[in-house]
Structure 1
Amino acid sequence: MDGSDVSGSPLPKTFLDFLSQNGLSPSLYAASSQSIPRYVRLKPGFESHIGDIEDEIGCNLVEVPWLPNFYHLPPEIRIASTKAYREGKIYGIDAASGAAVLALNVSHGDHVLDLCAAPGAKLCMVADLLEGSGSLTGVDIARHRLAATRNILNKYALGDRCRLFVADGTKFSLIPLRASSSSNSSRGDASETYKEWEARRRAWKERKLLAKTQNKCTEAEIREDPEVIFYGPRSGMVGRSKASVYRVVDEHQISDMGYDKVLVDAECTHDGSIKHIRKFEQWGWTTLPQRVLEARRSDELSALQLNLLTNGFRLLKAGGSLVYSTCSLSAAQNEDVVERFMSRNPSAGKT
């Protein structure tokens, strides 16, 4: 196979051409999976437990200076079986994901929307930063992944002010439940109100069937109204009528009552993830062009990314902030998407 040797493994010529077209060096992928550190975030309030955590895992937690509460560990360290992980003191999250949340500049009292919320690590970090204030709305089109997000929020006791919706992020239109919001225009039966959330455990066979048949919901499978699969006791849902939650609002109302911050960490080809690219050593390099480089896939993704970005911006309160991020290094999925968006939305400011 044509390629360039990177850490003993050849990158295919098609991928080298892709890197060249995007002004990227193959040396970015020289690191082996065994040399890439593992990142964890320490839940605020547990700083005094660092020594105990280090004793348990048998190595030092090395602080990441530019990411508050982030530490890196040797890649061979497994945290899932540790007491600190089971008790919700630490959770795994990539530094790049942490950087996207940090850029959001979450402030006390913000109402935040994560439009591509699964698998949930960024949502947890946002919840931490809100410090029991404001609200957090997570949306994802993949039901099983959002269910895992719900489990993570509950595990780390971070779901108090959160609500989760299975929905198409390009069409999601529910605004945050601010204390002063009204329901002059609404849908549904106003007599139906939300009570305290109770976990509804499905039979094992049903859950197994869902895992097979609902790996990823298509647009046709998403009901007209977003489906709520979790809400915390202080998310604003309890005691609300379904009509007030699903009320129709116009653009003027969104400008006044929309989200303070929106995160659009969009689906992408993951070519910027060294760990992901190195997996092709096992999967076979011949499969990389179809999974990562195929023009049709790239075009479909860039269209999806633009639609997610556009809808996220539409749901922003006037003066709010949006962060758009991907784990791709291609201009087509980053700069080009942003430029197309800016050309259609001149009122948006870029930083």
Structure 2
Amino acid sequence: MEETSTLPLPDAFLDFLNENGLDPSIYTATDSTPRYIRLKPGCEACVEEIEAEIKCKLEKVGWLPDFFSLPPDIQIANSNAYREGKIYGIDAASGAAVSALNISEGDHVLDLCAAPGAKLCMILDLLGNSGTVTGVDVTRHRLAACRTLLQKYALGDRCRLFVADGTTFSLIPVRVHSDSKSWVQDPELIFYGQHSGVVGLSKRELYQTVCENDASSCGYDKVLVDAECTHDGSIRHIQKFEHWGWKTLQRRVLNAERTDSLTVLQLQLLSNGFRLLKVGGSLVYSTCSLTVAQNEDVVERFLLENASAELQDVEAAKNWPCRSGRIWKTLRFDPLTSQTSGLFVAKADAASVAVSMMLRNSNAESSHCRVPQRYNKPNPALASWQIRSIGFSSTKAIEMGLEYFLFHDTLYTMTIETELLPQAKLVLLEL
């Protein structure tokens, strides 16, 4: 019979869970969530050998290819399979975040918060024999751990790693050529593979930066922003505070000032990742926090500030054991629902045409801007708006589908002509 233990949670943490609408039982049944591994492609025939070595059966995860679950008390770090690079230690929820990108062979992928590297390795395995991956992390020793993983699993051929601030990183994929801008300080390139696109480049070519007007064509096909967070969704992380002391939890997780600074950082990372995304590309934002402030609130603010961004369905999620977030199309994993660690996932893409400011209402009040909602009916308030410019023909507008949203005192739209207003599919903001 499987043993369970009850983690004694302090009152301050229980209050924190209550404020965020989180079920405390997520944290109290601490030994029921499986451990997960991912099998390296090409090692499918090794499953029985691995089972014999670790003395337990690997249960295939039906909703996530190449993933297996095993009892939480099984250690893999000292196994031959792990030392020889046949398996990876990675939670299934983390694998789902990578899977949500829907990586195709030939993609140029940016992992903006790459350390410690398990997701980076999965991206490279999915990429196949063409395309490139750029990994970025602000901490050199953590990125060095990524480099070690790439070398261990022989995955470095199409990858380059930069020590850089993800909120300001601006280097474009090396497949393209454009005018370069000067950096105040070039990011440190600590690793590159033979087919990463770096070999043979001059420094000027290597450090080409993205410009506002060329991001749409020169950016990355896929961007992963697995942002720094309080890690409150990681049950094993919370367990550690029983040994570190609950005062440490107060400082690292419950401290309001730390949370505020993190949400600012998360929004900056998300916004910069989107800035580096090419038109038609996809971005996934994820955190291992379960709080609304670090997830839905960040995504909501991002959508308000980035008119061309739109949340997308994760097609594979139809078969995933997760639930919807508080914003349409976002996903949440947790131990009770998913039998995984906690994780939030949102997927966005860049519209094929940049959203442009079309209308302005001098009477609108910014305090009325709250949560985006969709309507399939015209908004009577549009009658008071003034058309300032027309960007596209009515034919093109119908092809694309009209979209509007209100931000502060401005109504933004992809395209519009007066007679089409009643037919518009609206995205408005409720009080």
Shorter chain as denominator, the TM-score bin is 0.7 to 0.9
Higher relative contact order (CA 8 A, sep 6+): 1
C-alpha separation between the residues in 1 aligned to 2:180 and 2:234?
A: 45
Structure 1 counterpart of 2:51, from 35, 54, 76: 54
The separation in 1 between residues aligned to 2:129 and 2:101, in whole angstroms, is 17
Q: Where in structure 2 are the equivalents of 1:235-274 lying within 5 Å? A: 235-274=196-235
Other structure's SS at 2:135 match: strand
Aligned to 2:241: 280
Matching of residues 23-102 of structure 1 within 5 Å: 23-32=21-30, 34-102=31-99
Equivalent residue, structure 1, for 2:264: 303
- Helix, strand or coil at the partner of 1:243: helix
Matches within 5 A, 1:321-340: 321-340=282-301
**Quick one: distance in 1 between partners of 2:85 and 2:96?**
21
Aligned to 1:133: 130
Counterpart-to-counterpart distance in 1, 2:152 and 2:277? 29
Partner of 1:218: none
CA distance in 2 between partners of 1:235 and 1:346 (Å): 32
Q: Partner of 1:302: helix, strand, or coil?
A: helix
Query: What is the Cα deviation at residue 253 of structure 1?
Result: 1.6
Where 2:36 maps in the other structure, the secondary structure is strand
Larger strand percent: 2
Give how far 1:108 is off.
1.3
Q: Secondary structure at the match of 2:25?
A: helix
**Superposition map of 1:142-181 within 5 A:** 142-178=139-175, 181=176
Q: Which residue of 2 aligns with 1:124?
A: 121
Q: Is the contact between residue 210 and residue 219 of structure 2 (CA under 8 Å) also seen in structure 1?
A: no
Q: Deviations over 1:229-259 (max 9, x none)?
A: 0000000000111110112442222210100
* Structure with the greater alpha carbon radius of gyration: 2
**Where does residue 8 of structure 2 map in the other structure?**
10
Identity %: 68
Aligned length: 309
Name structure 2 gaps, 5 residues minimum.
313-431
- Counterpart residue number, 2:382: none
CA distance in 2, matches of 1:249, 1:94: 33
C-alpha contact (below 8 Å) 2:226/2:287 kept by paired residues: yes
Cα shift readout 1:20-72 (whole Å, capped 9, x = no counterpart): 1111111111222x443221100111101111111111111111111110111
Letter matched to residue 278 of structure 1: Q
Deviation per CA, 1:182-211: give whole Å up to 9, x if none: 2443659xxxxxxxxxxxxxxxxxxxxxxx
Preserved contact between residue 104 and residue 263 of structure 1 (Cα < 8 Å): yes
Mapped to 1, the partners of 2:7 and 2:214 lie a distance apart of: 55
Letter in 2 for 1:122: K
Looking at structure 1, the residues matched to 209 and 309 of structure 2 have their Cα atoms a distance apart, in angstroms, of 24
Is the CA contact 1:183–1:243 (under 8 Å) kept in the aligned structure 2?
A: no
Higher helix share: 1
Deviation at 1:104, TM superposition (A): 1.1
Q: CA deviation at 1:281?
A: 1.4
Q: Is the deviation greater in 263-272 or in 275-284?
A: 275-284
TM-score (norm 2): 0.69
RMSD across aligned C-alpha pairs, in angstroms? 1.6
Structure 1 letter corresponding to 2:13: F
Taking the aligned partners of 1:69 and 1:308, their CA distance within structure 2 comes to: 30
C-alpha separation between the residues in 1 aligned to 2:99 and 2:106? 16
Q: Distance in 2 between matches of 1:284 and 1:184?
A: 53
Does the Cα contact within 8 Å between 1:255 and 1:318 map onto a contact in 2? yes
AA in 2 matched with 1:182: H
Letter in 2 for 1:72: S
Q: 1:312 aligns with which of 267, 270, 273?
A: 273
Tell me the equivalent position of 2:177: 182
Change (3 A) 1:256 1:8: closer
* Superposed counterparts of 1:173-212, under 5 Å: 173-178=170-175, 181-185=176-180
In the alignment, structure 1 residue 112 sits paired with structure 2 residue 73: no
Q: Matches of 2:261 and 2:126 in 1, distance apart?
A: 34
User: AA paired with 1:225?
Assistant: D
CA–CA separation in structure 1 for the residues paired with 2:137 and 2:85: 23
Amino acid at match of 2:76: I
285 and 248 in structure 1: CA distance in 2 versus 1, 3 angstrom threshold:
closer
1:24 alignment partner, SS class: coil
Displacement over 4 Å in runs of 4+: none
How many angstroms does 1:14 deviate by? 1.5
Structure 1 Cα separation of the partners of residues 38 and 188 of structure 2: 30
